[in-house]
Amino acid sequence: MTHYDVHGVSIPALGFGTWQLRGDGARDGVEHALSLGYRHIDTAQVYKNEAEVGAGLEASDVARGDVFLTTKVWGTNVAPSKLTASVDESLRKLGTDYVDLLLLHWPNDEIELEAQLVALEGVREAGKARLIGVSNYPAGMLRDALELVPDLATDQVEHHVFLEQDRLYDIVRERGMVLTAYSPLAQGAVLEDETIREIADARGVGPAQIALAWILGQDRAVAIPKASSAAHRESNLRAADLALEDDERAALDALTKNRRLVDPDFAPDWSA
Ligand code: NAP
């Protein structure tokens, strides 16, 4: 599996997403993912599973220091007066003294960006986050954030074979960051696509593996598929070592890339 060095910290290119995993499903899912060989786990305050993710880490034989763990601060907690305490609460639930990556989950224009980022930096300076970054920031907003904090690690955004992120790739490559692709399987829609299925069938692998290999074949790309099924977790991990041929990649590049699935009413103007 590829690892990217981002500001001195190693990030495994394939991680395990935990949105919508709850209770034993989250705990057992994380423990199982680690037993398979995943070393990167993605959660968030709003997923309401940090305690179960922490329990999965605790139950695993894998040492905390060998796992790259991300959580995200929800919008109601980004005010400087609340951010630090909310991260302390996340750490308590996760059963750890630090996360490897701490993200602002969504842009929030009710609080000055600089104030949010200063608070985030404070958490890093206190040793409670090794890296900091953002999520759901369009390119212009990411550039604004980088003016204030030049060493952000990632922008975690929706990205899959049906939605391109070329402007963000330009920035993350220029700045030594990574682009973290969420919903990398388009929440299952990749399974239905004829082009993907043909490539998968010809290789004797699953369509999800082809969709993940398309993302992971791009420089500075990280993907965090979610799977509640053990078989899916195993199959997705194998995709980390699957390289596409040029003609396969070209066929996937040619798919229409404007299908956005995660677009709540508080989302930013994506063209900003
Ligand atoms: P996703 O990973 O694109 O798709 C998950 C769906 O694909 C599930 O229905 C899963 O089924 C299915 N699946 C997984 N592996 C499969 C395989 N090998 N074969 C067939 N089906 C497979 O969607 P997502 O959960 O939206 O995104 C992944 C992660 O990104 C989240 O868990 C979260 O950590 C992160 N995320 C972040 C944000 C953000 O705002 N920053 C937003 C959305 C998501 P089963 O569950 O039945 O196995």
- How far is the centre of ligand 1, averaged over its atoms, from the C-alpha of 260 (Å)? 14
Pocket-testing residue among 137, 160, 226, ligand 1, by greatest number of atoms within 8 A of Cβ? 226
- How far is the centre of ligand 1, averaged over its atoms, from the C-alpha of 101 (Å)? 20
User: Closest ligand 1 atom, CA of 160?
Assistant: 3
Residue nearest to atom 18 of ligand 1 (CA): 232
Give pLDDT, residue 234: 98
CB-count burial class (<10 Å; 0-12, 13-18, 19+) for 127: exposed
Whether residue 98 lies in the annotated active site: no
Candidate list 4, 38, 47, 169, residue with the active-site label: 47
Reported as a single tens digit per residue, the pLDDT across 113-148 is 999 999 999 999 999 999 999 999 999 999 999 999
Residue nearest to atom 42 of ligand 1 (CA): 182
Pocket-testing residue among 38, 185, 260, 261, ligand 1, by greatest number of atoms within 8 A of Cβ? 185
Residue found by looking up tokens 């763990």 in the block: 69
Q: What is the mean pLDDT of the chain?
A: 98
> What fold does the segment set 3-189+219-229 form as a domain?
TIM Barrel (3.20.20)
Q: Could you tell me if 261 and 158 are in contact, meaning their C-beta atoms sit under 8 angstroms apart?
A: yes
- How far is the centre of ligand 1, averaged over its atoms, from the C-alpha of 218 (Å)? 19
As a whole number of angstroms, the distance between CA 236 and CA 184 comes to: 11
Pocket-testing residue among 14, 16, 18, 19, ligand 1, by greatest number of atoms within 8 A of Cβ? 19
Reported as a single tens digit per residue, the pLDDT across 204-221 is 999 999 999 999 999 999
Reported as a single tens digit per residue, the pLDDT across 140-197 is 999 999 999 999 999 999 999 999 999 999 999 999 999 999 999 999 999 999 999 9
Q: Ligand 1 pocket by C-beta < 6 Å: which residues?
A: 17-19, 42, 105, 135-136, 156, 182-188, 191, 206, 208, 224-229, 232, 235-236, 262
CA dist 83 to 49, 73, 111, 268, Å?
Answer: 19, 7, 12, 21
As a whole number of angstroms, the distance between CA 151 and CA 145 comes to: 10
As a whole number of angstroms, the distance between CA 238 and CA 97 comes to: 31
User: Closest ligand 1 atom, CA of 207?
Assistant: 19
pTM above 0.75, yes or no: yes
